[in-house]
Structure 1
Amino acid sequence: MRKWLVSVLLLCALPGLSGVCHGAGFKVSEQGAKAMGMGNAFAAQADDASALYFNPAGIAFLPGIQVSLGALGILVPQTDFHGTTPLSGTPPLDTGTAVVTEHSRRDIVIAPTLYASYALENLPLSFGLGVNATYPLSKSWDDSSVFRNQVQIASIKPINFQPTVAYRVDALNLGVAAGIDITYAMVSLQKSLYSPVIDPTAPAPPFGAYEVGSLGLNGTAIYMGYNLGLLWKPRRDLSFGLAYRSKITLDITGDANFLATTPTGMGAIGLSDSALFPYTRAHASSSASTSITLPDTLDLAIAWRPTDRITLEFDATRTGWSSFEKLEFHFDSPQFAAFNNQPDPRKWRDVWSYKFGAQYVVNPRLALRAGYSFDESPVPDQTVDPLLPDADRHSFSVGTGIGTTLGSVDLAYMWVHFVDRAVHNQEMTTLRGSNGVFKSDAYLLAANLNLKF
């Protein structure tokens, strides 16, 4: 019984680490203000240094030295929930049936970007370096929330380096590119733990939701992948783009710290479940590790310029989220030995996103942009949780570009509306999931300064 209980407790806690792994999910595709203003439909244009992210073959057509400095501000989705959870009610016994309304905390994530490209004068060869944050995540619920046993605070702070080389075949007006992605990420999670039984060593009625303690996790990861790009301009008014990013294996290592706040909690880590004093506490720690395979992505794009002033683009992106099938963890401490290698199914699915963008050049110094995209959610109903209450999403954006002889400034705004997500995956035996409806919206602002030398 002890093995079952602690496995449940920790595997319920650790999916917060999956935030490093996100179509939809939590991948942030807004890596340049010009592209964001056009709904991220940019892989067939790729005509500024942010092409390093959207389609690295684009730098094959950029002359001289070009640098793009930018920042993306994300107002983390204000998620509303209405329904029941395993803790809704009055723990420990009157739980799981009371209907509640909860609101996640608002937060702001700032993700900076730096892109630079250099074209050789005598050869059709270009080099580039991109620095960005593709998988930032921040989600928090109040400490008193009915989701406190699933997540209180979760955050991921990544930084990605992308060195790239591109070659231009002038006879075909074709650019090809290859690069690598090297990412370092810091991960943290905080939550409360509850048990469905009062004594982990001798489970017996009454069943309910008994406080166990508090769990904190901190970890880091370094991973590497590769990317490829192709950009073909068969005519002056038409271009085709193709970009691919590989699967990558994310190896997370860190520390788990558990504070038992009740006799039930002490029993969970193998100590006596009887306390001399009502507020006796005990601490346990262990190193922890897991591996997650993040998805590959394929972008197919076409851009059309019916006039010198108008550009229209459509992109389709496939994300292979079926690579994220489960979570499985290893703990080194003997106190945690019974928790090892307990798989937690995720069963995400491959998804597509569709992006439409338009630009109108008013004059050489001013461009106006607008875009729309639709992203399918990879998260099946059985694994939707308060850490990532994902849903199909509609994104609407507007932007502008202000040009000078030395470069330009790009600004963009995006509203992301998540379709209401109804879930029915509440499990009282594991105190996970919920029955109800999640509602979310996110707001993004981006700015880039583009310089040419």
Structure 2
Amino acid sequence: MQFQLSRKVILASAIALASQVSFVQAAGYGINEQSASYLGTGFAGRASNAIDASISSSNPAAISFVEGTQVSVGADVILEGGSFDGYHSDALDNKTYGSAKDFQKTAFVPFGYFVMPIDEKWSFGLAGYAPYGIELDYADGWVGQSFGGKTSVQVMNLQGTVSYKFTDDFSVGFGLIGSHVKGELTSKPLGLADATIEGDDNTLAWNIGALWNVSDSTTLGLAYHSKLDFTLDGDFTIANSPVSDPDSPLANGKENVNLSITMPEKLLVSATHKVDEQWTVMADVTWTRWSRFEEFNVMNSEDSSSEYYVPMNWTDTWALSLGTSYQLDDQWLLRAGYMFDESPVNNDNRTVRSPDANRNWFTFGANWKVADNMNVDFAYAYVKLQDGGITESKHSKPSNPADALFGTVHGNYSSSSHILGAQLNYKF
């Protein structure tokens, strides 16, 4: 069998990861954890319940109804998890069995928000939060090492927001976003050399929203988040290779490639209803256009030729959240919520780079009023992914068959995770 492999093809298995992976955060590769207060209600009310400045990341119009000048800062911690059992079969159908655990590494997700009224009509806000990210690291020598090893992808949004209150009960808002991505991605093709990609990119995006107080007890929110266009440029390095021939595609060295990806737009519809002085209920529906992800095409930075092709065939998704809060006394507000988060990935297109599945969120939270101008949010979430199978071989371009030496990885994922959040809200 003829062995044909290029450095750029090895890189592609790592660079495509930046737009595939997500494990316990949100469907696809998103992160919901931009607020501890909304984490407590399963993110229900995140576009309609203007309880603090962190709502600006979901609905920019809502800052018109945030009380006074306010700062909200905090972080969510996503604890390690993940379980895989299966085997790798080579071109001769020889099987190597193995398992992997806790490859979803503990991730720290910080956020910060500032909101202030300019006058009776206009409000202004600044925000910093992480919309995407992953810390994924399979153990050395695991059965799928040719398809993926370590992934550290960090995306940070900086958002400026303005909101205009047309009436006492209705506002619209606009957010302009500067987004930065940074990643370190590795694999070990054929169990030989260590392949690493490190790169970053910047892009602009925006969101718009509206908030309507239908009555004294009911509020509706609507928000749209634009797509994000990234072109990830990176330095690809092969190291620790046993190959001494400098002309070999597995020889130690460095090359450049790039990948253009589009992160899809999403639409949020949110409702909050105050039942009485103690109980409030909320609901959210979010649609995400994951069907944009039809394929990946990694390009040579020098001649713009296509070096790596991955058919994705992802589908659009829906997420449904239901939540409630209960005012226990003057100091304590209790929260609970549930979210069903549909995945664009199924048994037909799951990869070791995207061990994704439909997930169920069960969340709890509390708000402690420390003083008239300061309160603290605490939240906990248990996220259970549905079990999912995988049968993955090396992907190929339509005109270029895949290299059978990579073999196939077969197995099942059964995973869950715990998330802890805390947030300080201060009114000036």
Give your verdict on TM over 0.5.
yes
Distance 2:324 2:180 in 1: 34
Give TM-score, length-normalised by structure 2: 0.90
Q: Is 2:332 the partner of 1:366? A: yes
In 2, Cα distance between the equivalents of 1:450 and 1:101? 43
3-state SS, counterpart of residue 235 of structure 1: coil
Residue type matched to 1:5 in 2?
L
1:225 and 2:226 are equivalent in the alignment: no
1:413/1:445 contact within 8 Å kept: yes
CA separation of 1:283 and 1:125: change in aligned 2, threshold 3 A: same
The residue that corresponds to 1:5 in the other structure is 5
Q: Does 1:356 align with 2:360?
A: no
Aligned to 2:140: 143
Q: How far did 1:384 drift?
A: 1.3
1:44-86 Cα deviation digits (max 9, x unpaired)? 213210111122211111232110011111113x221122224
Corresponding residue for residue 182 of structure 1? 178
Identity %: 28
- Show the counterpart of 2:427: 452
- The structure 2 residue matched to 1:216, chosen from 196, 210, 217, is 196
- From 112, 115, 118, give the equivalent of 1:114: 112
Q: Is the 8 A contact 1:247 1:296 kept in 2?
A: yes
Q: 1:424 is matched by which residue type in structure 2?
A: T
Gaps of 5+ in 1: 88-92, 195-210, 270-280
Deviation at 1:387, TM superposition (A): 2.3
**Residues 330 and 369 of structure 1, relative CA distance in 2, 3 Å threshold:** same
Mean Cα displacement is larger for which, 40-49 or 323-332? 323-332
Question: How much does 1:341 deviate?
Answer: 4.2
CA contact (8 A) 2:338 2:362 kept: yes
1:251 aligns with 231
Report the CA distance between 1:96 and its aligned residue.
4.9
Matches within 5 A, 1:5-404: 5-6=5-6, 9-19=10-20, 24-42=27-45, 43-76=47-80, 78-86=81-89, 96-105=94-103, 107-121=105-119, 123-170=120-167, 173-194=169-190, 211-259=191-239, 261-263=241-243, 268-269=248-249, 282-332=251-301, 340-403=306-369, 404=371
User: How far apart are 1:136 and its partner, in Å?
Assistant: 1.6
Relative to structure 2, which stretch is displaced further, 24-33 or 376-385?
376-385
RMSD, aligned CA: 2.5
Distance 1:184 1:432 in 2: 35
CA offset at residue 260 of structure 1? 6.8
- The amino acid of 2:51's aligned partner reads D
Of stretches 293-302 and 13-22 in structure 1, the one that deviates more from structure 2 is 13-22
Answer with 126-135 or 146-155: which moved more.
Answer: 146-155
| C-alpha contact 1:212 1:265 (8 A) present in aligned 2 | no
Residues 163 and 16 from structure 1, CA distance in 2 versus in 1: closer, same or farther, beyond 3 angstroms?
same
Mean CA deviation greater in 431-440 or 26-35: 431-440
Query: What's the secondary structure of 1:401's corresponding residue?
Result: strand
Task: Give the conservation status (yes or no) of the 8 Å contact 1:23–1:351.
Answer: no
Would you say the 8 A contact 1:347–1:380 is kept in 2?
A: no
C-alpha contact (below 8 Å) 2:59/2:222 kept by paired residues: yes
| Secondary structure of the structure 2 residue equivalent to 1:12 | helix
1:266 CA drift (Å): 6.0
**Deviation (angstroms), 1:178:** 0.5
Please give the secondary structure, in 1, of the residue aligned with 2:277: coil
* Distance (Å, rounded) in 2 between the aligned partners of 1:299 and 1:443: 25
Q: Which amino acid aligns with 1:178?
A: F
* Structure 1 residue matching 2:61: 3-state secondary structure: helix
Note the residue ranges of structure 2 that are not aligned, 5 or more in a row. Answer: 395-402
Distance 1:214 1:414, change over 3 A: same
Cα distance in 2, alignment partners of residues 167 and 148 from structure 1:
52
Distance 2:199 2:245 in 1: 23
More divergent stretch after superposition (40-49 vs 421-430):
421-430
**Does the CA-based 8 Å contact 2:10-2:195 persist in structure 1?**
no
Determine if contact 1:3/1:339 at 8 Å carries over to the other structure.
no
Q: Number of residue pairs matched?
A: 415
Looking at structure 2, the residues matched to 313 and 96 of structure 1 have their Cα atoms a distance apart, in angstroms, of: 54
* Letter of the structure 2 residue corresponding to residue 118 of structure 1: M
The TM-score, its normalising length taken from structure 1, stands at 0.85
Query: How many angstroms apart in 1 are the aligned matches of 2:325 and 2:264?
Result: 31
Aligned match for 1:417, one of 355, 359, 384: 384
Q: Deviations over 1:425-445 (max 9, x none)?
A: 446826265322111111111
1:347 deviates by 1.6
* In structure 2, distance between residues paired with 1:33 and 1:260: 43
